[in-house]
Every structure is written in structure tokens, then in C-alpha cells.
Structure 1
């Protein structure tokens, strides 16, 4: 690991100012950034820690849904969202192991946009709004590819607003060693239709399965998926699963999520 300076601001304004310096990078839970630094794949001059910013933490219920601070760790989401959005809370409780859930944050995960991370599926299926220090971004406009989002340099996720669906569930086929999703499917039923978001399977990261959304919006039962198939084109393939295997898992897990919801 290269030498670096550590700055610990106590407000979003202070963090934004610190990130304006050349070579500065935000540090949230550090579950991806710190291992990358240890392998010398990343070498920021300054880490701007977001862990002491109280205004970026917590889970709050409102008339519009559920607001979760970007600096809220997975364990807190699992505990405090359970009464309001059980599917989201279950997802958070299945991320990694207790040590990861105690340090990793929802804002860090969404900003990193790992192709096998769980939160992007929840954000996209829920049609959530990502609030930053500069603007609001709708979920459909936020995720742009592998490790790529609409965030600009130095932009911080302060809050994520989740509309609460009528029914929802998340099904995850976990890679045993990493606990990342080999495939994960989040299904959310709203009054105006169903959204289905898939993580772990696509070459371009999280995506919506629109064909399944249309079928389930007409008939919210696992049987509505009969006759549908997802092409393996554009699916990830590795030692853990071929593109065809992942495409098959997407359909299986979508049906299970609908049944669970």
C-alpha cells in the first residue's frame, strides 16, 4: 500500500471541500477500496473518510417511503428497515459476513456498482432516487455499466430514497467464498406495475428484465414466467457459471422471488 493522508470531515460540506483536492478519494466502508489499495491497484493521495458524518447515517420512514443515509452500514439497514421494507432488510442481512455488514455502507456499495453487488438490484427494482450533495438521480439513469455510474468526480451519495412496493422479495444464489451474488433477482410490485432487477449476471452490470416485468404486471404469479427465456448473450461467464447457466438462474430466481413476495 502506498502512503496516503487521511481526512475525517464531520459534515457533507467539509467532505465536499476535501474531495476537491487533487488526488483525493472518498472512503466509505472501504470494503473494495482498501483491498485495492493493498494490492496497489489504487493509490489515492488522500482518503476522505465519510464515517464521522452523522447526517449521512440512519433509516427514516416518511410518507414517500424509506430514506437511508449513504453512510449507513449494512447491519443497520438489516435491522432498522425490517419493519418497513422486509425484502430490502433481508438483502442487507445476507451481504458478506458480520464483519463486512458492520463496515460496508449502502452508499459505498451503490457508488462502486460492483456487477455482483446486491444493493444495485434493490435500488433499480425499487425505482429508488439517489440523492447526492449536488442533485437527485433516478435509478434508471444511475447505473451505466461495470463499476460505472452517473456520479461525477467527487460527488457523494448522501441519501437513497426507496418507494415501498406493495410486495417485494430478493433471491440470491451466492458464490460460496465471496458471498457476492452469482445471480441475484429483486422483484418489486407497485400499483402501476412490476419491476425486476438482476445482479451478478450481466456483462454490463445490474439490469432490468423487462419481458418478465410485463408478464408479471399482468399476472403476479410464478406461472406467468412460463414460456419466457433469457438469452445468454450479454451474460457473464466464468469458472463459477457459464452465461447459459446464469441466464437459467435468472428465471429460476425470479420465480422464487415472486412466490416469496
Structure 2
């Protein structure tokens, strides 16, 4: 359970981190954020980088700010800071609830939002919440910054749109502006990761759904948006029957044969769980609007 030998560098700024990435572009290089995914992988031999660049101490990548209608979160901001932030709870309620279900106290005191999203573990809790929250992920490289919508950020298992010479610096989320959010998760009994997790963000007016976004993780090899569920809800009344009908469409645009399948859950079981936890997330969100439906 010891990692292979590697060279360690500690970056004090984004520019220094980018310079180190460029300097070691010919080597197997990893960025160290909170370390809760990378270090276990190194100890078990699943990852053997030649160079480790520690970016956890870059001050410019820490912190939570509200600028007008946008919530900006530094990529190195820890989960514990997010759970304690009134701004995150107000402006990004779906993300706030998902963060509260990440790991345990020890993990939340060290792990970071940027590390979670950049690592792109399909069973992590935040990809679906980022998609539901309409997040934009800002990456920086030698050519400057790029803004990537969460819908386009995740490509596959541990694969994102971040280039080899780029790093994720912050996450920007449009204010929910009075909308309500929820996250419902079926945790793995062995790891606590999501076998299926569904995040929902609703904006209603007089019992009518004005807008809705629903994202899921743990089902496919990357976080996905549940468009058919959104289509079934948008513009309609928010009640238990409508929610049940909408949830029944979860996965309509996903290939069940391509869903995750492992010793804990087959792809067929995950397809069923997706519908169940979509209904639970939507019901929880509806209850926060003052609705009357109860979860099954």
C-alpha cells in the first residue's frame, strides 16, 4: 500500500501550476487537490504519476463569492466550507444538498469541489448537481481561460473537457433566484458513493413549473441531464401525479445497455433506481415549494 516514487511540487499560484504542467508535459503528471481520490489510487497502484503538483494552497482558487446573479466558487474550496455557506444554500440549493451527502466529516473537511468535478468519478455526488444547477466550469491554460457548461464538461469515466495543459480554477452558478433544489441518492453500502444520485432544481409560480433542470450520476459512465423528465414537467402543474409521470421518463434518452453494471447493481436495476430516485428528488423539491405530495 505504498505509492511508487514521484517528484512533488507545490504551486503557489495558477501561473506557477501551469508552468509546472508545461515543464513536465512529457511526464505522467497529476494535480493534487484534496487527495481523497488520487492518494488511494496511488497507494493501490491504480495511478503511478511521475510528478505530483499540489495546487491545494493556491489562495486564488479558494473562496465563495456572489457577483450579481452569479455564485462563484473557487475550485479548491472544501466541501465543509460549502456546507457552512449561506450563499451556497441560497443560490445553489441542489448543489448544497449534494455536498452534504459527500463522504463523511473527514472527507468533507479535506475534499474540494474542483477535485470532485475534475476527477469525474461516475459515482461521485457532484456531477449531477452541477448539471442541474446549470454550472459553468472555468478552466485556465497558457492560452487563457475557457468557460465550459456542465452539460458539455463530462465525457466519460474520469474524462472531462479539461486539456492536459489546463486546470479547473472555479465553478460559476447562476443564482437559483428563489428556486428550490434537492438531491436524492442510493448510496453504495460498501463505499457510500452513489449507485444512483439525482439532483433537481425547480422554479415554480403558483403551482406551475416555470423551469426545471434534472441531473444524475452513478447511472452512466459520466454525469447526465435527464431531458425527458424536464420536458414532462416544464409548464405543467406540480403535483404527485405529474411528478410520478415525469419520473417514469427518467432514462428514456439513455441506452440501458450502456448503463453502469457491477457487483452491487446491474444496469437493469440502475435503470429502475433512476426512476425511483428521480421521483424522490422531485418530490423533495416540491415539498420545499409548499406542495403536498409525500415521498414513497
Structure 2 residue aligned with 1:132, among 134, 139, 143?
A: 139
Q: 2:201 aligns with which of 173, 188, 202?
A: 188
Does residue 9 of the first structure (1) align with residue 14 of the second (2)? no
- In the other structure, the counterpart of 1:59 is 64
TM-score w.r.t. length of structure 1: 0.93
3-state SS, counterpart of residue 20 of structure 1: helix
Distance in 2 (alpha carbons) for counterparts of 1:234 and 1:164: 34
Q: Which residue of 2 aligns with 1:155?
A: 166
* Uncovered stretches (5+) of structure 2, i.e. residues with no partner: 205-209, 286-296
TM-score, scaled to structure 2 = 0.82
Does 1:115 find its partner at 2:122?
yes
C-alpha distance in 2 between matches for 1:72 and 1:226: 36
The match for 1:85 is 92
Larger Rg: 2
1:106 pairs with 2:113? yes
Offset, 1:87: 3.0
CA distance in 1, matches of 2:19, 2:226: 40
Aligned pairs for 1:165-184 within 5 A: 165=176, 166-184=179-197
Matches of 1:235 and 1:143, distance apart in 2: 15
**Deviation of residue 11 (structure 1)?**
0.9
Q: For residue 42 of structure 2, what is the aligned residue in structure 1? A: 37
Q: 2:259 is matched with which residue?
A: 235
Q: Structure 1 residue aligned with 2:224, among 185, 207, 211?
A: 207
Q: Decide which moves more: 49-58 or 87-96.
A: 87-96
Partner Cα distance (2:269, 2:13) in 1: 46
Q: Structure 1 unaligned runs (5+)? A: none
Q: Is the 8 A contact 1:123 1:139 kept in 2?
A: yes
Alignment partner of 1:217 is 2:219: no
Runs of 4+ in 1 over 6 A off after TM superposition: none
Cα displacement (A) at 1:174? 0.8
SS at match of 1:95: coil
Return the alpha-carbon distance in structure 2 between the equivalents of residues 9 and 136 of structure 1. 23
SS in 2 for 1:120: helix
Partner of 1:74: 79
Relative to structure 1, is the Cα distance of residues 62 and 221 closer, same or farther in structure 2, using a 3 angstrom cutoff? Answer: farther
Q: How many residues align?
A: 260
- Measure how far apart 1:64 and its partner are: 2.3
User: 1:69 offset after TM fit, Å?
Assistant: 0.5
